């Protein structure tokens, strides 16, 4: 576990790779629906400039006009995000809820900030800055559009971190806007981090293989102690699954529950291991 909530999942270790895999697996459709309409509008208005750095602006451009363009674009993107909370994938809601609970135990004052930072840094902003790599657009955007998306991602990350601009002087003009978004951003992250009632999303015919009392909505909800897994144990599990995945597949296919369960769980594990690579 990180020593500071601000560095959670900032590296490129196994937990970060697993979370990125989940974002890619379960979030692609959501990202497309979220960003495709905005990018279509930007492409139509491709002569619009979003550059607000005086040292990079072209001679024929007006700084005030560019600031207005970037401010409107940032507002459109942020509004689309907070309006999409009801469409946020259920699998990623579960992930956010788990992350919130784990961070709350380690950093009781900062679980919300940690989830917010991760969602924007690892999920939303990469798709916004590189939409062609996420299948949102067919081709790489023009440099002018890419610059606008990059600047918007900076604004969004500051919103996620609940911070105003201090070091980049040319971005300070957006600080009033940043302050006006903090509450809405907090409410969005809260909405996607709420505990999930699994009985509402698991079909009734899938309840039987699991102990009934765990999925009985009329029974008292059991509580389970939260425990941390050391990096060494995570690596050991990765190594175990990687080197024995063929035997695991053979064992599962020979079991009496194979017809009822099928290969889907094993296929998901194999896909994840292929994505993570060797330990």
- Tell me the C-alpha to C-alpha distance, in Å, between residue 113 and each of 40, 58, 117, 182, 201: 31, 37, 6, 11, 27
Residues 256, 138: Cα–Cα separation, whole Å: 46
Rounded to whole angstroms, the maximal C-alpha distance in the chain is 73
Give the predicted TM-score (pTM) of the model.
0.72
Maximum average pLDDT range among 53-62, 178-187, 202-211, 227-236 = 178-187
**Mean pLDDT in residue range 147-160:** 97
Confidence of residue 195 (pLDDT cuts 50, 70, 90): confident
**Mean pLDDT in residue range 89-97:** 92
* 46 compared with 210, residue with greater pLDDT: 46
pLDDT at position 228 over 70? no
Residues 176, 274: Cα–Cα separation, whole Å: 45
Q: Is the separation of the CB atoms in 252 and 258 below 8 Å?
A: yes
For residue 33, what are its two tokens? Answer: 């629906």
pLDDT at position 198 over 90? no
For residue 108, what are its two tokens? Answer: 């009781």
At 175 the three-state DSSP class reads: helix
Q: Which of 58-72, 181-195, 205-219 has the lowest mean pLDDT?
A: 205-219
Q: Which of 131-135, 190-194, 234-238 has the lowest mean pLDDT?
A: 234-238
Residues 228, 215: Cα–Cα separation, whole Å: 25
Q: Which of 12-26, 141-155, 182-196 has the lowest mean pLDDT?
A: 12-26
pLDDT at position 17 over 60? yes
Q: Is the separation of the CB atoms in 275 and 21 below 8 Å?
A: yes
Q: Which of 55-64, 130-139, 189-198 has the lowest mean pLDDT?
A: 189-198
Residues 258, 130: Cα–Cα separation, whole Å: 41
- Tell me the C-alpha to C-alpha distance, in Å, between residue 222 and each of 202, 203, 227: 17, 20, 16
Residues 17, 93: Cα–Cα separation, whole Å: 18
Maximum average pLDDT range among 80-89, 195-204, 262-271 = 80-89
Q: For the chain, where do the domains classified as CATH 1.10.506.10 start and end? A: 5-198
DSSP state of 168: -
**Correct CATH for 5-198 of 2.60.40.10, 3.90.79.10, 3.90.1410.10, 1.10.506.10:** 1.10.506.10
For residue 101, what are its two tokens? Answer: 């609970």
């Amino acid at each position: 576990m990180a020593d500071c909530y601000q560095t959670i999942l900032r590296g490129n270790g196994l937990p970060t790779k697993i979370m990125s895999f989940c974002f890619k697996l379960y979030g692609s459709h959501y990202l497309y629906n979220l960003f495709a309409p905005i990018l279509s509008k930007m492409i139509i208005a491709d002569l619009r400039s979003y550059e607000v750095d005086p040292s990079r602006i072209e001679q024929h451009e007006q700084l005030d006009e560019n600031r207005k363009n970037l401010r409107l674009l940032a507002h459109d993107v942020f509004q689309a995000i907070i309006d999409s909370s009801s469409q946020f994938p259920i699998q990623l809601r579960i992930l956010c809820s788990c992350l919130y609970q784990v961070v709350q135990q380690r950093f009781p004052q900062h679980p919300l900030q940690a989830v917010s930072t991760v969602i924007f840094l690892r999920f939303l902003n990469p798709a916004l800055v590189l939409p062609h790599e996420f299948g949102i657009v067919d081709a790489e955007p023009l440099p002018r559009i890419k610059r606008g998306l990059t600047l918007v991602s900076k604004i969004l990350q500051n919103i996620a971190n609940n911070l105003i601009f201090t070091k980049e002087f040319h971005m300070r003009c957006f600080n009033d806007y940043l302050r006006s978004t903090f509450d809405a951003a907090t409410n969005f992250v809260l909405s996607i981090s709420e505990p999930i009632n699994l009985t509402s999303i698991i079909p009734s015919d899938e309840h039987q293989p699991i102990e009934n009392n765990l999925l009985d909505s009329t029974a008292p909800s059991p509580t389970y102690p939260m425990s941390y897994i050391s990096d060494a144990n995570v690596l050991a599990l990765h190594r175990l699954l990687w080197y024995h995945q063929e035997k695991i597949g053979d064992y599962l296919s020979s079991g009496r529950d194979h017809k009822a369960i099928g290969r889907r769980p094993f296929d998901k594990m194999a896909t994840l291991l292929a994505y993570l690579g060797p330990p």
